[in-house]
């Protein structure tokens, strides 16, 4: 399989593959299958039997989950370079989330049998998978801590800044989060209500920190959002946190 220079750079930097020698990397890529999913289509659905792990090369993927009371909750947006589905595949579980394409997506994929064989053949790949699992555990612990200890304004600011780092696009007015992001989405991602998100964003708009439209958020003052996210007084915000940070 031949990757474009851009796709090669993306795949080469994925944690699962980063430690491989070039020949090993080429063998792993050759064992993959490319999947193309059009906007609104699905890589997999929640509760489907996990059959394939993916590395996203193009587009964005929205991860959602259905709660016990039947409501769909947005968990995360994935950008190119992100690995998804691997834990469920390795454990032969069902997928715990739904992965939906936002825009046309292209991804490398490996089924369970192939992935297991490659990890046995290349132990460094297996060690990288353990690091990925450890990272997921740390992230979960951090999210629990955020929900239990941080003010809702901090959680919203941190989420917006994280999305800006992943999918921000600089414009003359500021940093535009290049995702279809509604206030309901922000509420789901920060463990609060749409009323609270609307109230917070309206206050931030008055202060010139953000501009919020129906499906877009523009960061006008990264300094101000960092101040809120880190719960710092304004004089302690690092001066290098500017538009070039995103």
- Is residue 23's pLDDT more than 90? yes
Q: Distances from the Cα of 19 to the Cαs of 12, 15, 62, in angstroms?
A: 9, 8, 28
Task: Please report how the helices 194-206 and 152-167 are oriented relative to each other, as an axis angle in degrees rounded to 10.
Answer: 80
- pLDDT, residue 55, reads 97
pLDDT of 146 reads: 67
Dump pLDDT digits (tens) for 27-40.
999 999 999 999 99
- The Cα–Cα gap between 175 and 184 comes to 21
Confidence band, pLDDT 50/70/90 cuts, at residue 239: very low
The candidate with the shortest Cα–Cα distance to 156, out of 222, 96, 201, 221, is 201
Q: Give per-residue pLDDT as tens, 136-169.
A: 777 767 766 666 667 899 999 999 998 998 888 8
The pLDDT of residue 147 is: 65
Q: What is the pTM of this model?
A: 0.79
- Is the pLDDT score of 243 beyond 50? no
CATH architecture classification, 151-245: Orthogonal Bundle (1.10)
> What pLDDT does 235 receive?
45
Mean pLDDT along residues 54-77: 90
Give the CA count within 13 Å in the CB-facing half-sphere of 88. 21
Q: Does domain 5-147 have CATH number 2.60.120.10?
A: yes
| Winning range, highest mean pLDDT, from 130-144, 168-182, 223-237 | 168-182
Checking if the pLDDT of 238 tops 70, the result is no
Q: pLDDT confidence of 233, banded at 50, 70, 90?
A: low
Cα gap 38→36, rounded to integer Å: 7
Q: Which of 133, 74, 69 is nearest to 99 (CA)?
A: 74
CA distance 181 to 130: 32
Confidence of residue 54 (pLDDT cuts 50, 70, 90): very high
Q: Which of 46, 85, 39 is nearest to 64 (CA)?
A: 46
User: Mean of the pLDDT values across residues 69-78?
Assistant: 85
Domain boundaries defined on the chain: 5-147, 151-245
Give Cα separations from 91 to 28, 56, 119, 134, 228 (angstroms): 20, 21, 14, 15, 39
- Residue 236 pLDDT greater than 80, yes or no: no
Structure tokens at 158: 């941190």
Instruction: Output the 3-class SS for the chain.
Output: CCCCHHHHHHHHCCHHHHCCCHHHHHHHHHCCEEEEECCCCEEECCCCECCEEEEEEEEEEEEEEECCCCCEEEEEEECCCCEECHHHHHCCCECCCEEEEEEEEEEEEEEHHHHHHHHHHCHHHHHHHHHHHHHHHHHHHHHHHHHHHCCHHHHHHHHHHHHHHHHEEEECCEEEECCCCCHHHHHHHHCCCHHHHHHHHHHHHHCCCEEECCCCEEECCHHHHHHHHCCCCHHHCCCCCCHHHC
The more confidently predicted of residues 142 and 187 is 187
- The fraction of the chain above a pLDDT of 70, given in percent, is 90
Q: What is the pLDDT of residue 139?
A: 72
Do 151-245 and 5-147 have the same topology in CATH? no
């Amino acid at each position: 399989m031949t990757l474009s220079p851009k796709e090669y750079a993306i795949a080469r930097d994925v944690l699962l593959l980063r430690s491989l020698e070039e020949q090993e990397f080429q063998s792993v890529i050759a064992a993959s299958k490319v999947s193309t999913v059009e906007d609104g289509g699905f890589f997999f659905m929640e509760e489907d039997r996990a059959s394939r792990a993916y590395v996203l090369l193009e587009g964005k993927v929205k991860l959602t989950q259905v709660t016990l009371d039947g409501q769909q909750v947005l968990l995360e947006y994935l950008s190119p370079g992100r690995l998804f589905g691997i834990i469920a595949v390795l454990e032969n579980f069902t997928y715990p989330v739904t992965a939906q394409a936002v825009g046309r997506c292209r991804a490398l994929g490996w089924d369970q049998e192939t992935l297991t064989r490659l990890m046995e053949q290349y132990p460094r790949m297996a060690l990288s998978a353990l690091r990925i699992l450890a990272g997921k555990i740390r992230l979960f612990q951090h999210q629990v801590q955020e929900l239990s200890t941080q003010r809702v304004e901090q959680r919203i600011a941190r989420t917006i800044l994280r999305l800006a780092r992943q999918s921000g696009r600089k414009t003359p007015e500021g940093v535009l989060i290049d995702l279809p992001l509604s206030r309901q989405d922000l509420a789901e991602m920060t463990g609060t209500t749409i009323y609270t998100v609307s109230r917070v964003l309206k206050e931030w708009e008055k202060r010139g920190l953000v501009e919020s439209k129906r499906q877009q958020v523009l960061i006008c003052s990264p300094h101000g959002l960092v101040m809120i996210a880190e719960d710092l007084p304004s004089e302690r915000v690092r001066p290098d946190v500017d538009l070039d940070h995103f």
